[in-house]
Amino acid sequence: GEDVEQSLFLSVREGDSSVINCTYTDSSSTYLYWYKQEPGAGLQLLTYIFSNMDMKQDQRLTVLLNKKDKHLSLRIADTQTGDSAIYFCAEKGGDTGRRALTFGSGTRLQVQP
Amino acid sequence: DARVTQTPRDKVTEMGQEVTMRCQPILGHNTVFWYRQTMMQGLELLAYFRNRAPLDDSGMPKDRFSAEMPDATLATLKIQPSEPRDSAVYFCASGLVVSGTGENSEQYFGPGTRLTVT
């Protein structure tokens, strides 16, 4: 079945850029998403990109999509301590029989002051 | 500020007891999802409703779990009887899907119900 993979952990210093990577296997993916989960909270939708785009920028967030390599990344510029959280990558397949998103296991971002 | 709400936020119960979790989706949304999150398994989809009809509950143990939408403003997830392995955080999410190819599927998550079965 479809799979989404992420590295488990990333540590950066405050003010640096963070890059969280994700790979997926479904070549028919239509939309790809980034969610953020803070401790004790639900997942918060950060941004998403349609599969015919290769980049999307939203304030400090930049999403890059390499559809050929099935690679998605989230860059956070000027990372702050408040960005410390778990970041989930998710994809929605083009197969109309698949209704829900497939989530990765999450990348824990630790921002050191 | 439209949000998905879930009750209760925390539930501790003994093995064998019935547990009911409730979710109020964002008004106007036509899809509702139930997820379970554990350290070992990560985020697992349990059930998916669209326009109140169950479309996918393949991730849900059928013998003890049931999910319903009595109306458009309420979704319930019931476990009967509960077991210690059901201990997890259960999330509800809602979204608005417009039919057509390449439909977007943004999901807005509730705060979750932390279930502990002893």
- C-beta neighbour count of B2 within 10 angstroms: 10
Give the helix, strand, coil percentages of chain A, each rounded to 5. 5, 55, 40
Q: Which residues of A touch B102 (CB under 8 A)?
A: 30-31, 50, 94
Give me the total of CB pairs closer than 8 Å, taking one residue from chain A and one from chain B: 54
CB contact (8 A) between residue A92 and residue B105: yes
- Yes or no, beta carbons of A94 and B102 under 8 Å apart: yes
Task: Identify the DSSP state of A68.
Answer: T
Q: What is the DSSP letter of B109?
A: E
Res A38 pLDDT > 70 = yes
Interface touch B45/A44, C-beta < 8 Å: no
For residues A18 and B11, give the distance between their C-alpha atoms in angstroms, rounded to a whole number. 36
Query: Looking at the complex, does the CB of residue B26 fall below 8 Å from at least one CB of chain A?
Result: no
Is A95's pLDDT higher than 70?
Answer: no
Task: Report pLDDT digits (tens) over B12-58.
Answer: 999 999 999 999 999 999 999 999 999 888 888 899 998 999 888 88
Residue with structure tokens 């979790």? B21
Is the CB of residue B13 less than 8 Å from the CB of residue B118?
Answer: yes
Alpha carbon of A97 to those of A67, A90, A94, B75: distances in Å?
Answer: 21, 17, 8, 23
Cα B17-B72-B112 angle, rounded to 5 deg: 45
Span B88-114, average pLDDT: 84
- Shortest Cα–Cα distance, B111 to chain A (Å): 4
Beta carbons of A48 and B42 less than 8 Å apart:
no
Check B102 against A31: CB less than 8 A apart: yes
